[in-house]
Amino acid sequence: MRSYTLTTIWGIPIRINVSLLIFLPILAWIIGSGTQIDTYAGVVNGFAPNQIDVSILTAGSTPWLIGAAAALGLFVSVGIHELGHAWAARRYGIGTESITLWLLGGIAALESMPREWNREFWIAIAGPITSVLTGVACYVLLVLTPASAPVAAFVLGWLVVTNVILAAFNLLPAFPMDGGRIFRSLLARTRSYESATRTAARFGTGFALLFAIVGVLNFAPMLILLSLFIYGAASSESRTVLLQGLLTGVTIRDIASLDLDPIDADASIAEFTDRMVRDRRTVYPVSDAGEVVGVVTLDSVRQTDSEDHDATRVRSILDTELPRVSVDADAFEAFVELSQSPARLALVERDGEVIGLLSQGDFTHAIQFRREGVAIGPKTAL
């Protein structure tokens, strides 16, 4: 879903997702109707310096004002929570690309996730600590609020409770929530990062199942959505960390096909298909005036509208919109970039000159070799 940038803090874009824009009015209605106000008023009166008259809170349109203020206050609190992560990451020289507020809370997109256990620990725990401090700040404001402003007092008291709950809930070891990342960081003190991630991810999927069961039994759609998010995110990050571990120390030089042997752009499609059959290859770089300008594949032939393969030139079906990677680039970083490319292919460069091709298959072979403990190196000497 689309997100909109609201503002920028510390150079970090603060974005709001469309899902939150839809959900905020619903949350305001939930808070302002039913027994929510009565229930929370009893809790707030347990620590507020001035007792709040519930009848004032439920009179007229006041509940809807309370619901709107509390809903907005909650997601401001979530934004502050994510800024806590961003601040801690910044202390370690890690930037934050954006903070997005959405249906299930907030996401601080860090430029990279540290593998050092102590760095991940402090970055992860910074969010819950920030939520507790936000709750303390709301309590101080509650103490300063006069008895003549019961609505403001209730909203501040509600935010005290909500921020404490937010901190406690995020400390559950449900990877990749904050508590799950804290759990992984502590495991990583005595075992490999990959092993710690696998264990934390298993805990995460276990919590996802628990949330799903509780959500179904209590008809709580938010818990069901949260369970799906945790399950998907835990599984995805576990796979990503495993791949990163397998590709550690590997460069594009070690896995790419560096024997170019291009086909000329002015060759016919018929010549190209004959060559594919002869060489038993389906992907070729295409050269024009001695310079590699793109790639042609078997799929390119299948998708062409031309039926006269003898008259149609390769240049009419070649793909020039390919990412380019340096031969000395990190293999995992290139894998991430290539995964986002529709072509699933990249041109390999050295000093601006194309010297090879990189495909998803190259990564598959490299990962398989590393799993089996087989050393890998350049396919062709440079």
Q: For residues 265 and 315, is the Cβ–Cβ distance under 8 A?
A: yes
User: Does 194 share its domain with 314?
Assistant: no
User: Does 19 share its domain with 124?
Assistant: yes
Neighbour tally for 46: CB within 10 Å: 10
User: Does 242 share its domain with 256?
Assistant: no
| 68 lies in some domain | yes
CATH number for the domain harbouring residue 323? 3.10.580.10
Query: Domain total for the chain?
Result: 2
Neighbour tally for 317: CB within 10 Å: 21
Give percent of the chain with pLDDT exceeding 90.
30
Give the residue from 215, 246, 277 where a domain finishes: 246
Higher pLDDT, 325 or 187: 187
User: Does 237 share its domain with 309?
Assistant: no
User: Does 237 share its domain with 322?
Assistant: no
Smallest CA-to-CA distance from 246 within 332, 152, 312 is with 332
For the ranges 88-97, 211-220, 237-246, the lowest mean pLDDT is seen at 237-246
Confidence of residue 1 (pLDDT cuts 50, 70, 90): low
pLDDT greater than 80 at residue 17 = yes
What's the pTM? 0.74
User: Does 217 share its domain with 338?
Assistant: no
- What's the sign of the alpha-carbon dihedral 132, 138, 140, 143? negative
For 22-53, what is each residue's pLDDT tens digit? Answer: 888 888 888 888 678 888 888 999 999 989 98
| 63 lies in some domain | yes
User: Does 288 share its domain with 151?
Assistant: no
| 98 lies in some domain | yes
Asked if residue 285 has a cis previous peptide bond (ω within 30° of 0), the answer is: no
pLDDT greater than 50 at residue 141 = yes
User: Does 231 share its domain with 211?
Assistant: yes
For the ranges 75-89, 212-226, 283-297, the lowest mean pLDDT is seen at 283-297
Give the residue from 246, 262, 285 where a domain finishes: 246
User: Does 235 share its domain with 257?
Assistant: no
User: Does 231 share its domain with 257?
Assistant: no
| 157 lies in some domain | yes
User: Does 223 share its domain with 339?
Assistant: no
| 380 lies in some domain | no
Q: For residues 46 and 100, is the Cβ–Cβ distance under 8 A?
A: no
Give the residue from 210, 228, 246 where a domain finishes: 246
Confidence of residue 151 (pLDDT cuts 50, 70, 90): very high
Range of the domain at 361: 252-371
For 246-275, what is each residue's pLDDT tens digit? Answer: 777 788 888 787 777 788 888 888 888 888
| 300 lies in some domain | yes
- What's the sign of the alpha-carbon dihedral 353, 356, 360, 364? negative
**What is the mean predicted confidence (pLDDT) over 143-164?**
93
| 123 lies in some domain | yes
Smallest CA-to-CA distance from 314 within 274, 270, 271, 265 is with 265
User: Does 239 share its domain with 100?
Assistant: yes
Which residues partner with 357 through β-bridges? Answer: 257, 347
Smallest CA-to-CA distance from 74 within 23, 8, 39 is with 23
Higher pLDDT, 91 or 358: 91
| 196 lies in some domain | yes
**What is the mean predicted confidence (pLDDT) over 349-365?**
79
